[in-house]
Chains A and B, each alone.
Chain A
Amino acid sequence: MAVRGNLEDSENRHETAGPEKLKQVGRSYPLHDAEAKATGRIRYTGDMSLQGMLCARILFSPLPHARIRRIDAAGALALPGVYGVFTHENTPDVLYNSQVWYAGQEALKDERLFPDTVRYIGDRVAAVVAANEQTAAKALGLIKVDYEELPAVFEAEQALRTDVPVPALAPWASPFFSKEISVGHVDECFEAPDAVVIEDRVETPKIHHAALEPHVCVAYPDHNGKITVLTPCQILYSVRLVVATVLGLPFNKVRVLKTPMGGSFGGKQEVTLEPLAAFFALATGRPVKIQLTRHESIISTRTRTKTIGYVRTAWDKAGNLLARDLKTVIDTGAYTSNGAIIGMAMGKKAFRLYRIPNQRYRTESVHTNTPVAGAARGYGSPQIHAITEINIDHAARRLGIDPVKLRLRNLVRPGDLDAGGGPPLGQAQIIACVAEGAKAFGWAQRRDAPHGTGRFRRGAGMACATHSNGYFGGFQDFTTMTLRMLEDGSMILNSGIQDLGCGTVTSMKQIIAEVMAISPDRIEAPEGDTETSPYDVGSQASRVTHVAGACALHTAGKLKEKLCREAAKLLECAPDEVILQSERIRSAAHPEKDCSYGEMVSLIQEKNRTEIIITETFQAQDNPGSYGADFVEVEVDTWTGLVRVVEVLAVHDVGRAINPGFVRGQIYGGVQMGIGYALTEDIAVDPVSGRAKGDRFSRYHLVNMPDMPPVRVILIEKGGDLGPFGAKSIGEIATCPTAPAVVNAVNQALGTNLETLPLTPERILRALACQ
């Protein structure tokens, strides 16, 4: 079904039109699989059933820290229909790190399939593989485990104290990672006699990604010792790496296929269930499915890091940001995961939003006996921006300067360099975002409007954020794609892309369609398969549109050259005289002799004996910032502490929207997640028991439809960087400015300085009581 762009494409887009008139890029096509999703035809992993498939269920630790003395699986094994019980005694003891995505990547390896010492409530103790879910569940209840309880630590700052007699979790010291980035003369600035120093301690919670599809995976063996893993993952090659490592298989004996993604947000980026499913399949010789419940997904997979941020800024009276001293304490939970990288990811953002001549960033990562943190939409950006943007508003209050004005004075400008030594910021359009946003939001009026003195108080707030566009400047970042045109003129893109439901497949098609003068529905762009697809770094680091999209553009360009070259031979003209238009091909000299793409490709095969196919590797060469500013109005019920977000305006510098409908969709969803981050979402590990209080949806509240405010979006599209048609990332940055904007609005409404997220009614009333 070909539906034309109809998502109000022309509305609220500020572009500097490029020289070329774009036909496909800039249009809002629906997702390639929207109809399959709307009819229930699409098969997610949990919907799949293979001949002879077994079900695995996992026994999760009920204790936060304990040595397993003995596991008695006899009762479970005796149950008819049980194919195996797996524990630390009969599974590989290979240690791995769940977030590595390339061979040779350094990372602390502290996870194994089943540990002999469990480190958090939710750690894996054992698993049963059985003929069906009922049997597996029943068998699980028959496993007897004898634990020796060990002391546990649940709070990051507790884990840092050397005077507390709690053993470190692992052989590692606490903190297991620390690092400092420093530019200029930070201490001197704070000592300057007329500096205004603003200090805050901001705390951000562990949250659940809450993809509506709980974690799931299927693996099956073949007759030649190869294991195929079907998984809704973000990084196929990361899955292959970890599975092959744990199982001790050659890489070409592990085949990973990306299945339709029921939402991820980073939650399915790391490798969690895949090596288990693969091992069970290998051990039983049967297909095995592991499907977690919501509760299990929340406690046993990944969360956003809990982060405590100490921030001090020094200002002059005019509002120039002279220096900033930042420190983060990162609670990565019971296993390392990305606990080291994420602290650095946070730090890097701190140098890319404001012009700060003197800045120091320090980070310390610790283990606690709590659910494991990992990748989560924004990869540290929501945390660091909550910390820094709440502080900027605090400063604005103290300096008596409007927060928009204060920001406009200090924000980075297009062409700025990264003071921290990272890649140049590129066409950083944050000033445009803030200026346009303030105007469209009616900032001045809303900000000055009376808050009210009664039960309900209104306030307006805003915040800015930046995020990356790939790994350039940090890690290797490249993609390879193979593109061909078939004998009927249709096309196949073969690549290692993984669409997370954000529209990657369709975006790639639009980019190729633009170059090839073809309709996007004439292109097939299947998602990745490690056996047949070329390498891709994965759907991570906000790199897909900017880097993989650029690869699609370059590959299509090369394919077009080849088509023109081959066609020129048959049309008896020079390659640059060949014209491609609306899926037809001709030469400038003989426009009457035109034929369809299909006819031409067939002719090329017949006469020139070659295929129209190209394989290209594209290496990222820039990593500009994506920028965004959210403006929020809230109404606070000062008697019950409940906050209603009245309206949100989100302004984003996306370079160029390949598909504006998708871009807006990302922003709407990002705002929903950001409001939850600000107001309700918290796994809330109990400091005494180590048990997550928000361990199911009845106790972990996402923003639902009645609470979702209207959201307006403005896109700034000035292009200029090296992404396809100037495109930059949106999926992660979309959620970064929202939470601090909401917090700033609440603080303005109430005259408080709330800085522990989420702003629960209890916290709000307590802050009001202290006034």
Chain B
Amino acid sequence: MELRFTVNGQKQVLEVEPQARLLDVLREQLGLTGAKEGCGEGECGACTVLVDNLAVNSCLVLAHQARGRSVTTVEGLAPSGKLDALQQAFIQKGAIQCGYCTPGMLMSAKALLLRKPKPTEEEIRMALAGNLCRCTGYVNILRAVQDAAGTAESGEVRKA
């Protein structure tokens, strides 16, 4: 079945099996391996990409459901090679350890900032609730998003 959609700004026309998930097409047919499969059931968020600027779990979307839509993956965050503010903040704030959750975290954070450029801490926490990380305890991820949004407070993360 033919699938027409846009990925990272580029129009694509692909022959795609009905049962392919968006994640499979991105990784296998387009070689965009940034999005990862950490659970395949919508729980971990490692596969998060944007569809028309909304964060979705690409493991739960059939590829053909993206017909006519615009998909953005982590590879599309720095199209001209210049890092997005979120990417820079993740690097500088120590928000990356093993890095397996990072593409999904970045895309969820990106979707949030597109919608809400100055989110509160609570909004960041809820926006990233569907992205699990086992390495960082989320502490520096929160800081990085605040930093990229320009809402970072000096000092500690959050007072109880």
Contacts and interface: CB of A to CB of B under 8 A. Distances in A.
Contacts of A671: 137
B34 A40 contact: yes
Contacts of A352: none
A768 interface: no
Given A39-B87, A665-B136, A672-B134, A211 B39 contact: no
B102 to A, nearest CB: 5
Nearest to B98: A501
Contacts of A30: 91-92, 94, 96
A38 B102 contact: yes
A769 interface: no
Contact of A708 (B35, B36, B137): B137
A252 B41 CA distance: 41
A500 B92 contact: no
Contacts of A708: 125, 137-139
A697 B32 contact: no
Interface stretch (A1-9, A117-125, A586-594, A720-728): A1-9
Given A262-B36, A706-B125, A665 B94 contact: yes
Q: Is the contact region of chain B dominated by helix, strand, or loop, or is it mixed?
A: loop
A263 B137 CA distance: 13
A262 B98 contact: yes
A40 B97 contact: no
A40 B75 contact: yes
B159 A664 contact: no
B100 A702 contact: no
Interface string A663-682: 01101111111000000000
A263 B102 CA distance: 12
Residue among B32, B97, B132 with most chain A CB within 10 A: B97
A47 B33 contact: yes
B119 interface: no
B126 A38 contact: no
A262 B129 CA distance: 20
B32 to A, nearest CB: 7
A33 interface: yes
Contact of A31 (B77, B97, B128): B97
A431 B124 CA distance: 37
B99 A211 contact: no
Contacts of A221: none
Nearest to A696: B41
A39 B74 contact: yes
B98 A706 contact: no
A398 to B, nearest CB: 30
B111 interface: no
A50 interface: no
Interface stretch (A269-277, A601-609, A709-717): A709-717
B36 A213 contact: yes
Given A39-B77, A40-B33, A696-B39, A265 B134 contact: yes
Interface in A191-217: 209-214
A63 to B, nearest CB: 24
A28 B101 CA distance: 21
Interface in A175-205: none
Nearest to A664: B94
A36 B91 CA distance: 10
Contacts of A157: none
A39 B83 contact: yes
25 contacts: A30-B91, A31-B96, A33-B99, A34-B91, A34-B99, A37-B99, A37-B102, A38-B96, A38-B106, A39-B87, A44-B100, A46-B36, A212-B38, A213-B38, A261-B98, A293-B40, A661-B94, A669-B134, A669-B135, A697-B41, A705-B129, A705-B141, A705-B142, A709-B160, A710-B159
Rank and list the top 8 A-B pairs by shortest CB-CB distance, nearest first. Answer: A40-B34, A501-B98, A37-B99, A668-B137, A262-B100, A697-B43, A47-B33, A672-B137
Interface of B: 27, 32-41, 43-44, 46, 73-75, 77-78, 83, 87, 90-94, 96-103, 106, 124-126, 128-142, 156-160
Interface of A: 1, 3, 6-7, 28, 30-31, 33-40, 42-44, 46-47, 209-214, 260-265, 293-294, 500-503, 633, 646-647, 661-662, 664-665, 667-673, 696-698, 702, 704-706, 708-712
